[in-house]
Structure 1
Amino acid sequence: MKEKFALGTALLVASTVPVFGQQYRAGSSDTMDQNNQQDTQRGSCCTSCCDECCPPKDPCAKCAQLWPSCGPDWIITPGAGPCTADGCDFFVTAEFLYWAVRQDHLGFAVTLPEPETTSVGEISHPDWRMELGFKVGIGWLTCIDGWDLYLNYTWLRPRTKNETASSKEGFFLQDYFLFGFFGPPGDFTLDNETAKWKLDFNVLDLEWGRNFYISKCLHLRPHFGLKGTWQEQKYDITANATQPRGSTQFFDTITGSADLKNDYWGIGPRAGLDTAWHFSRCFSVVGEFAITALWGRFDSRAKATQTLFDGSVTPAEETTTTIGTGSFKTEFHSVKPVMEFFLGFRWEDWWCCDEYYTGFDIGWEVQWWGGQNQFAFLPTETRWGDLGFHGLTVRARFQF
């Protein structure tokens, strides 16, 4: 009796397994159809820019979230990479810069009406222009929850042309620095003054961040790290003043020259946020900002010289006399702020079955460096001023 019961039970189980399997496969098929339908309805931000012929990816794989909303819905803040399939996820970046550079309080001469019946005048500044520069970087997308490590270097060498301020009819020229340092030049009249400024600008940024989606078409990348910089500024000023020699046609001339130098290094914590707002898989609007508090040292030096050229009847009798020299320096440490902003457009795509990634950004970048003008114009005077950059930035990224 027991043997018959056991045999009947076995036959019943064997007969129900195919039915259950068919129901399970039918249920799985329905679920897959629903998932495919949901993927179709996700909107334009999941539209491919090119034909996809690669096999589907495992939704739990590291690179499942290669583009907006193509990963599973149950992942919280899914990583946005970008990462590559079956790669080491190292990436390199290169940026072309075309920036305008400005620094406050570098006026060197003022043109005033003659006689001085009003205080309205024109202050002369260095002749600013657009400058070329570059950035290069290297990074790695780690296997720890999509965290990435990125190191970037900035190189810029802005230079100004010789800007000259000259006296003209009905106006007189007043110096801002040279003759104020040595005292008034008596009855000498300032004829012209020339200034030239240059900067050697070097920056290293180290970032530790994570790029992730917070909605179907928006991803954020908060990051923190360190900023380091070393800079050298030079400001050269030359002025010429003349005085008639009696009733003759000859003049005595005083030439003043000043060489100002400002060396700076700084290091400090940096934090920021990068955003990308996708219109499709490949196109997005990007906005980025970062702030830094730099602890650094300023080493400011100034050297000035005044030379008298005595007028005479013949040039052979003309004499040159150094009537004044002076130099001083100041060194101190301080905390200075830095703010960075970028707004632009991005095109990106994966190729060779997601084994390689390329991205291109173009936009406008602004950087503000507080309190970088620490030139010592007088032994007791420092013209505190800010350094600013703004201009076109073109960025390329390749990942493998």
Structure 2
Amino acid sequence: MKVSILRKISIAIATLLASSTVFAGMDMDSRVTQLENQMQQVRTETAIGTYGAQTATTRPEVDGYGWNFTVNALYWHAKVGGTEFAYTDQDPLGNLPISGRAKDIDFSWDWGLRFGLGYNLDYDGWDVRAMYTWFDSNDHSSTGAGQNSSVVPLKGSSKIVDDVNRFQFCNSAKSQFDFDYQTIILELGRAYFVSSQISFRPHWGLKTAWIDQKQKTTYSGGEAEGETLGLGVNNVKVKEESDFWGLGPRAGVNSKWHLGKSFSIFGNIAAAVLYGKFDVDHRERFSAVEDRRIKLSANRHAFSPNLQMQLGLRYDGYFKNNKHHLGIGLGYEAQYWWRQNQILKINDDRNVIKYDRYSEDVNIYGLTLDVTWDF
């Protein structure tokens, strides 16, 4: 009987040990599976067959459709080179010595809009975006001659009034400038962490732009003195246009310096080189004589490089059980376009009227309020 009892105890102990081994084996398998899953999250095989660390994505991940919509309110100021249209001189005939002050166009601050639509791709955390920007600004300026002084014109030809005697001064000048700016950007990028608090989003794509510039200037007044002519009751009107359309590659990088879970400082920079056509027209008219007119066209194809920079503060948050993401950013933005103003500059020091191009730069800067919704 004792032998039977000892046998039963031995079988029970063996069964318990076997069960423990099985359970331990099952726990080890699950641990290995979990470890493999974790390794897949931090380890990746590259396109050339090597292995390395995988960077964690920083794009908003929501339980939605992968789309995002962006709207920007722009409060910008434009600066255009080559808008000087007259200067005042202390001599009533505009003779030497000259002591005066140039008058140009100083744009006011104006509002603009930017819209964007993006989609988060399943492949390697990439995303695609399309953005449209619209900004329009116009301004006018004027100047007049005081006592014993004159206004010297800087636009147009001095031969518009007479082939022999030159139009060199007047009593008043006024000018209006219209600046219209539109761009469309298509880009492919990937946002990822490079440390626990810093993330980058390199991107590249295409940019197209429409930049239209128009300046209308009117000179009037001034009595004739020998070979130096004023305008009397007549006027001279000068109309200039430089319209550009171009297309070219664009590349850049966005950076975020995370201050916590929701707030961050962002700094973005991008450059593009557009190749396009400048439609340039120059027209002049003297009101007293119908045939005293000048009409020139000087269209050309050329490259137009530009640079875009942004710096500001941003908030990102999730709501509705992580089904939606809302990002709000406020920052300073600046765009610089080289040799964008191709308006003509008349040179008639000799008998034949010739021209040069202003080839002046354009820059736009101001505040940008960005609201992005991921869904």
Is this a same-fold pair by TM over 0.5?
A: yes
* 1:335 matched residue in structure 2: 303
Query: Is the contact made by 1:307 and 1:323 (CA closer than 8 Å) also made in structure 2?
Result: no
| Counterpart pick for 2:87 among 91, 110, 125 | 110
Which stretches of structure 1, 4 residues or longer, exceed 3 Å deviation after superposition? 8-14, 19-26, 58-62, 115-120, 183-189
The offset of 1:258, in angstroms, is: 1.4
- Name the CA shift for 1:329/1:154 in 2 (closer, same or farther; >3 Å): same
The SS at the match of 2:56 is coil
CA separation of 1:187 and 1:225: change in aligned 2, threshold 3 A: closer
Which segments of 5 or more consecutive residues in structure 1 lack a partner in the other structure? 1-7, 33-57, 65-73, 309-320
Please say if residues 188 and 243 of structure 1, whose CA atoms lie closer than 8 Å, have aligned partners that are also in contact: no
**Does the CA-based 8 Å contact 1:223-1:272 persist in structure 2?**
yes
Task: Quote the residue 1:388 is aligned against.
Answer: 363
Instruction: Please say if residues 161 and 292 of structure 2, whose CA atoms lie closer than 8 Å, have aligned partners that are also in contact.
Output: no
1:90-109 alignment runs, 5 A limit: 90-109=67-86
Matched, 1:139 2:118: yes
User: Residues 20 and 134 (structure 1 numbering): CA distance in 2 closer, same or farther, change over 3 Å?
Assistant: same
- What is the CA–CA distance in structure 2 between the aligned matches of 1:187 and 1:348, rounded to whole Å? 62
For 1:188 and 1:266, locate their aligned partners in 2 and report how far apart those are by CA, in whole Å. 38
Query: Are 2:161 and 2:286, in contact at CA under 8 Å, matched by a contact in 1?
Result: no
1:218 matched to which residue of 2? 198
Maintained 8 Å contact 1:223/1:271: yes
Cα displacement string for residues 203-229 of structure 1 (whole angstroms, at most 9, x for unaligned residues): 000110000000001110000000001
Partner in structure 1 of residue 339 of structure 2: 371
Which has the larger displacement, 191-200 or 17-26?
Answer: 17-26
1:316 corresponds in structure 2 to none
Correspondence 1:286-365 to 2 at 5 A: 286-308=266-288, 321-322=289-290, 324-365=292-333
Q: Supply the distance in 2 between the matched residues of 1:60 and 1:183 (Cα, whole angstroms).
A: 83
- Scaled by the length of structure 1, the TM-score of the pair is 0.77
Residues in 1 aligned to 2:253 and 2:166: alpha-carbon distance in whole angstroms: 59
**Cα 1:245–1:81 shift into 2, 3 Å:** closer
CA gap of 1:244–1:225, structure 2 versus 1, over 3 A, is closer
Partner of 1:180, secondary structure, is coil
Contact between 2:284 and 2:293, CA under 8 Å: does it hold in 1? yes
What TM-score does the superposition give when structure 2 sets the normalisation length?
A: 0.82
- Distance apart, 1:377 and its partner CA: 3.0
Aligned letter for 1:284? Answer: S
Q: Could you tell me how far apart the structure 2 residues matched to 1:110 and 1:128 are?
A: 18
8 Å contact kept, 1:242–1:254: no
2:251 is aligned with 1:271: yes
**Alignment RMSD (CA, Å):** 3.2
Question: Residue 128 of structure 1 corresponds to which residue in structure 2?
Answer: 107
After TM superposition, give the deviation of residue 119 of structure 1 in Å.
Answer: 4.4
The one of 119, 130, 143 equivalent to 1:165 is 143
- SS state at 2:20 partner: helix
Q: Work out the percentage of aligned pairs sharing the same amino acid.
A: 23
Cα deviation code 1:141-178 (max 9, x no counterpart): 10001100000000111111x21111112432111123
3-state SS of paired residue (1:165)? strand
- Runs of 5+ in structure 2 lacking a partner? 1-9, 43-51, 347-353
Assess if the C-alpha contact under 8 Å between 1:188 and 1:241 holds in 2. no
1:20-72 per-residue CA deviation (whole Å, 9 max, x = no partner) reads 7469869x99xx9xxxxxxxxxxxxxxxxxxxxxxxxx97999x9xxxxxxxx
Contact 2:279/2:298 (<8 A) preserved: yes
CA contact (8 A) 1:198 1:234 kept: yes
How many residues align structurally?
A: 339
Secondary structure in 1 aligned to 2:17?
helix
Task: Report the counterpart of residue 242 of structure 2 in structure 1.
Answer: 262
